[in-house]
Structure 1
Amino acid sequence: MSEPSAEPQKTIVLQAKRQGYTVSFEITPNRLECWCSYAPSGLGGAPLTETDLTGFLRQYKILEGIQQESLQRLLHAAATGTAVSNLLLAVGTPMVVGRNGFINLAVQPPAPEEGDAGNNDNQVDFRQVQVFLNVDPGDLIGTIMAPEPGTPGMTIHGETIPPQAGVPLSVKIGQNVRLDDDGVSLFATATGRIYCKEADISVEELYTVSGDVDFKVGNIQFKGFVEIKGDVLDGFSVQADKGIRIHGNVGACTIKSQGDISVCGMNGQGRGTIVCGGNLNANFLYDTAIECDGTVTAEVEIRNCTINCLGAIKVAKGGLAGGESVALGGIETAVLGTVTSLKTRVIAGAHHRDLFEINQLFNDLKQLIEQFSSSPAALKNPMDFSVRKLAITKQIQEIRSRVYENCNPKVNVRKHLYEGVTIVLGTLSEQVKEERDGPLTIIENTLEGGFRYLGMTGLEFRAADIEQSFVLQAQRENAA
């Protein structure tokens, strides 16, 4: 079929007058529509017939897209002597412009974690607002797609309308993105989130929230560093692989990072958690469960927290009170405990995961003994019982024999130690019977049993080295 002329076209109006009627056909400039009007003359004569109409369509080359329903309506109007206007008689097929070139992202948003509200068909997690497309170095993040050719159209005259191809995309490659040698594949060169808007694409290592983390921002799960200029409201979670810095305060939330975490303060209200793969710094920490692979430092106070720390726990100005604090690298605080004897337990020089394993094994041993004791004599197997008991005992001994380079069973109190505090150093546990003023250091007394209360030395001085000096002195005195 022929193609329509490229010259500008105008509306065509074709009119046929007969003794009994007047019929007109209006063809739009793009030749895709034909509108028809019919009026009886009132002067006698025969109305429009199907043969007449077919002849007009052939004469005016109206060949494609004829609407049969409109034809019947027109013929019915003619037969009943009724006028009709603006009747769509024929419709062509428009040309479809091809899709422009675009970036086809290869990364899918993460699936909801087990336990998310989104897993319940009857609930909607309104805190899940954003989708972070996280990537690692070497990940394919997208492909530059070529423009599509488009689809040809057809005029009502049967002429082909050539398709118009889309426009190639001129990609603007930003930071941490590499274009492969094939010219179309895009790869990440750093860990972060994909930013892609039209022709711009990059991998961002920093995600900044200028205000609060609330229902407008939603939960954050990011493979880079997150900085939050405001607060994190109750119920939200912030997870970032490379670190988190929160200028404001945190409520009953989940804060998690493989790197360092810094917050102004956090009141977890007994529901908040922090999981930190680096060091944790805060002004204050209240009612929060904390697991930290580095050092936990609070400027003002730590109160009613459960802390499991593989570094040291340090409180600069205020006190450590309430809850249980386990620190492999030792504990230092201005004040330990409270005047109200709030139940406070500190464990220095122990690996919290070892403690968990040992507690599990002691429970297993208790169950084994209870099961053996309650079994009928005929069913008891003393040999099997002894073997299993010995195996558990050896496991406990193996855990207790583990050596950690930064292990420091030492507690420093700079200002005041209150009575009622339970202190655990290694395997030795004592409850403080009387208050003491600081500065003082508490370590285990391996010669006489119990604790040694000494003038304070920094946590950089290991308890084992200090105690060894007492042992050597005692050996020299005995030798003399």
Structure 2
Amino acid sequence: MPVEMPLDGNAEVLVSEDLLSASLYFKQVDPDSILDYKELEKWLHTNNIVHGINIELLRVIAASPASYCAQPVIIAEGTPAVDGVNGQVEYIYNMDDDFAGPAKLDNGKVDFREVTTLRNVKRGQLIARKISPEPAQAGIKVNGETIPAKDGKEARFKIGKNVVIGPDGMSLYAAIDGILTKTERDKINVFPVYEVNGDVDYKIGNIDFVGTVVIRGNVLSGFRVHASGDIRIIGGVEGAEIDSDGSIEITGGVMGAGKGHIRAGQNVKCSFVQEGNITAGEDVIVSQSILHSHVMAGRNVLCVGNKGLIVGGHIQAGERLTARIIGNSTSTATEISVGVKPEMRSQLNRLRTEVRELVTNLDKTEKALVLLDQLAAAGQLSAERLEMRAKLNITKKQGQEQERALKQELLEIEKSLEDTTTACVEVKQAIFGGTKIVIGRYTRFVKERAERIKFHYADGDVTMSPLL
């Protein structure tokens, strides 16, 4: 018959050193003994075990204490303390990866020229935000004592150059356009200049930057450099694409081999251009020579260095071209155009092409209508052809209206070609036969060598006069 076992003298509580666990150990147990689990719980409280008691296990032990006499059984577990998680600074870019590797294309191939990923940011753009720390969770020992824990620390922005903290104190913004960079001691900066100490090749790849780019090396053929600011290349440029919303300076010159282009919203300055394509919103300044190249400047083209030589190709300037020597003794074909902004001349050529195509289409439409009208007069016009004639009449009317609009636009541009009073070509040393001079809509071919000459528009023609 089961007999209730007294606990005092027969049971013992073993507590871990950190007071996070308590075990019940029976010294001796009669096989027929039983326990009241509530009395067992009360006895544990008497022995200062008040937290984390496993009630279900108490019930099982109370029903058959003899089954648990071989070794101590953990009967209560404390709650460990959990320190809070420190706050963090979250960046809009991964600040650890400077190079992302070749870009993957949609067709599964990779572009080995797209290897550099710049952290471009614009003024006022969010660049980082704080993540708030998480609070600590205090622990409790089996005897009910509290275990203290440390709260997470708030993150701090390490402020560098050209960044500002937002009004909420939790966000960081770029104060200028530039590249987001971490420097010593993890300071956050936005720098307006991106520098490459070497060539732009497969190691660096194409560059697209919102500020100024400085390249201390060459830009190899097939690569692309774009900057919202200026571009300065302390080296040469091969058949590459160089685009700047500001100005471009190339100390080593351009050897384009007819490939790539140099485009600047403002000025392009270099030592020489050979088989290159250059477009500048304002001036193109070349100190040595322009050979077999296509150059367009919204304002001036200046080639007046030690050589100051222009041979071959087509050079266009909105206002003035100045050079020491134009052409050569072998009469290499060289075309110089001034007095019209290059983009306007391009627009003029485009409009002329559109008018020619439109006139051709209108002629075809007119011939088709004549044929349909003849069939209608003979009573042989089917319902299908009647519908076709109606559509062709609408097409003819729309085409005639478009033709009038294009010709009006052409007329306005051609009128602007007449305003060439300030346009001129200045030759400081010599110009050779084979050179074509275009001022506005007027053309003059140079047939023989002349020295120190100025070409300008006067009395309905391109006039040549001595350069003072």
Give TM-score, length-normalised by structure 2. Answer: 0.69
Shift of 1:314: 0.9
One of 340, 343, 346 as aligned partner of 1:353: 343
CA shift at 1:165, angstroms? 5.2
Distance 1:224 1:371, change over 3 A: closer
Q: Kindly tell me: are residues 174 and 366 of structure 1, through their superposed partners in 2, closer, same or farther at Cα, counting changes over 3 Å?
A: same
Match of 1:140 among 126, 130, 140: 126
Mapped to 2, the partners of 1:376 and 1:256 lie a distance apart of 46
- Is 1:271 aligned with 2:259? yes
Match of residue 248 from structure 1: 235
Does residue 1:441 correspond to 2:454, yes or no? Answer: yes
Is the 1:4–1:161 contact (alpha carbons within 8 Å) kept by the matching residues of 2? no
Deviations 1:151-206 (A, max 9, x none): 99999xxx999876554333221111111222111122211111136741111112
Q: 1:260 to 1:144 in 2, by over 3 A?
A: same
Aligned counterparts of 1:53 and 1:401: Cα–Cα separation in 2: 112
Contact persistence 2:319–2:341 (CA under 8 A): no
- Tell whether 2:179 aligns with 1:193: yes
- SS of residue matched to 1:401: helix
Q: Structure 1 residues 390 and 128, CA, compared in 2 at 3 Å: closer, same or farther?
A: closer
**1:344 aligned partner:** 334
Q: 2:246 aligns with which of 259, 262, 270?
A: 259
Kindly indicate whether the alpha-carbon contact (under 8 Å) linking 1:4 and 1:160 is maintained by their aligned counterparts in 2.
no
Contact map agreement 1:324 1:346 (CA 8 A) in 2: yes
1:105 partnered with 2:91: yes
Q: What residue is the counterpart of 1:335 in the other structure?
A: 325
Q: Secondary structure at the match of 1:144?
A: strand
Report the Cα distance in structure 2 between the residues aligned to 1:235 and 1:383, rounded to whole angstroms.
48
Contact 1:103 1:199 survives alignment (8 Å): no
CA distance in 2, matches of 1:443, 1:53: 117
Structure 2 residue identity aligned to 1:292: A
Alignment of 1:395 onto 2:409: yes
* 1:52 shift after superposition: 11
Unmatched tracts of structure 2, length 5 or more: 1-14, 21-64, 96-101, 371-392
Query: Which residues in structure 2 correspond to 1:57-456 (within 5 Å)?
Result: 59=72, 61=74, 100-106=86-92, 118-149=104-135, 166-196=152-182, 199-264=186-251, 265-316=253-304, 317-375=307-365, 377=367, 379=369, 388-402=402-416, 408-436=422-450, 438-446=451-459, 449=461, 451-456=462-467
Deviation, structure 1 residue 214: 2.5
Superimposed CA distance per residue, residues 83-107 of structure 1 (whole angstroms, 9 cap, x where no aligned partner): xxxxxxxxxx999876543322246
Aligned length: 378
Pairwise mapping of residues 16-95 of structure 1 onto structure 2 (< 5 A)? 59=72, 61=74
- Once the 2 structures are TM-superposed, how far is the Cα of residue 54 of structure 1 from its aligned partner? 7.8
Comparing 190-199 with 255-264, greater Cα deviation is found at 190-199
CA gap of 1:63–1:303, structure 2 versus 1, over 3 A, is: farther
Q: Which amino acid aligns with 2:415?
A: S
Q: 1:342 to 1:184 in 2, by over 3 A?
A: same
Contact 2:336 2:437 in 1 (8 A): yes
Kindly provide the CA deviation profile for residues 416-469 of structure 1, in whole angstroms up to 9, marking residues without a partner as x: 212112221100123322222x2110112325x3x2111225xxxxxxxxxxxx
Which has the higher Rg, Structure 1 or Structure 2?
Answer: 2
Q: Partner letter of residue 159 of structure 2?
A: I
Q: For residues 332 and 147 of structure 1, do their structure 2 counterparts lie closer, same or farther at Cα, with a shift above 3 Å needed?
A: same
Work out whether residues 348 and 408 of structure 1, in 8 Å CA contact, stay in contact via their aligned partners in 2: no
Q: Is the 8 A contact 1:170 1:199 kept in 2?
A: no
Give the alignment's TM-score, normalised by structure 1.
Answer: 0.68
Within 2, Cα distance between the matches of 1:333 and 1:179? Answer: 53
Aligned residue identity for 1:443: H
| Pair 378,285 (structure 1): closer, same or farther in 2 beyond 3 Å | closer
CA offset at residue 263 of structure 1?
0.4
Higher mean C-alpha deviation, range 139-148 or range 178-187: 139-148
Distance 1:404 1:187, change over 3 A: farther
Of all paired residues, the percent bearing the same amino acid is 30
Q: What is the CA distance between 1:146 and its match in structure 2?
A: 2.7
SS in structure 2 at match of 1:235: coil
